[in-house]
Amino acid sequence: MKIAKTIINIILSFLLIFIILSMIVLNLVSTKILNKNYMLSKLKETEFYLQISREVQSGFEKYIYQSGLPEDIINDLYTEEMITSDVNSIIDYIYEGKEITTSEDKVQETLDTKINQYLQSERKTKTSQIQDNITKFEDLITTEYKDNIQVSDTIYEKVQKGMEKILSIYQKIKLIPLIVFIIIIILLLIVNRKDIFLGINFASISLLSVGVLLKLVEQVVFQYVDLDNLVLLTTSLSNLMINIVKDLLYTTADCGIWLIAGGITGIIICSIIRNSTTKETKENKEDKKKNKIKREK
C-alpha cells in the first residue's frame, strides 16, 4: 500500500510539472504575445519608429544621386506622426484584422510639390521627358517608403493568421490547466490525507523542478543562441524580435526564481513539520509504553 501511494504521488508530481509549465506558457501568450498594448510598448522601447524612419531615409538616398535633383528634395517627405500611424496600422492588422493603410500618397504629394518648386526656382520647363522622369522617380520613392514600412505583405498576412489561430486555441484551453492543477492538488491531499504535509512536499518538489527547468532553459538559450546577431528582414524588425525574445526569457527566468524559492521553502517547512510530528508521535508512544510497564508493575 505504501509503495502504491508513493508511485501515485510521483505520477501526480510529474503531471503537476507539465501543468505548471503549461500555465506559465499560457500566461506568456495572453499577457505578451496576444497583447497589442505589450507590442506597442515594445515598439517604443526599441525606438522602432525612429529606426524605420532612418531606413526609409536611407532607401531614398539610393535614388537621389541618379535623379539629377538636389539632395534636399528627399528631406522632410514624411513626419514622425506618419511613420507612427503607418506602423500602428500594421499592428492593428495583425491583432484586429483591420486594413493596412500607409502614407505613400502623402509622400508622393509632398515630393511632387518640392520638385515643382525646384523647377520653378531653376526656371526649367517641364517637358514630357522631364515629367516622365519625375513620375518614375516619384514611383521609386513612394515604393521605397511603402516597402520599408510594410516590409512584406506575405509575412504580415501569415503572422495575422497565426495570431488568429493562437487566440482561438487560447480561448478554448485557457482554463484547462488551472482546473487540472486544482484537481491534482486535491488528489495529492486526498492520497496523503493521513499526512497532508507529505502531499504538500510533493507539490513543492514539482514547483522546484519547474523553476530549475526554466532557469536551465534561459542559460542554454543565452549560451548557445546568438540572439544579439539575430537577423530578420530589416534592422528594425531584428532589434524588435531580439528585445521580445529576451524579455520572454527574462520573464520565465524570474518566474523560475520564484518557483525555486517557493519549492525550497515548501520542502523545508514540510520537512520541519513532519519531523516534529514524527518525533512527537515517537515520544508519545514511548511515554505510553513506559506508563504501561509501570501499571504492570
Query: pLDDT per residue over 60-118, tens digit each?
Result: 888 888 777 888 888 999 999 999 999 999 999 999 888 888 899 999 999 999 999 88
* Chain segment 137-157, per-residue pLDDT in tens: 999 999 999 988 887 778 888
State residue 45's pLDDT score. Answer: 92
pLDDT (0 to 100) of residue 278: 57
Between 177 and 130, the more confident residue is: 177
pLDDT, tens digit, 9 for 90 and up, residues 239-253: 899 999 999 999 999
* Rounded Cα–Cα distance for residues 289 and 84 (Å): 83
pLDDT tens-digit readout, 32-55:
999 999 999 999 999 999 999 999
Question: Would you list the DSSP string of 125-139?
Answer: ---HHHHHHHHHHHH
pTM: 0.81
Dist. CA 76–CA 91, nearest whole Å: 25
Q: What Rg, from alpha-carbon coordinates, does the chain have?
A: 32
* Residue-by-residue DSSP string for 245-256: HHHHHHHHHHHH
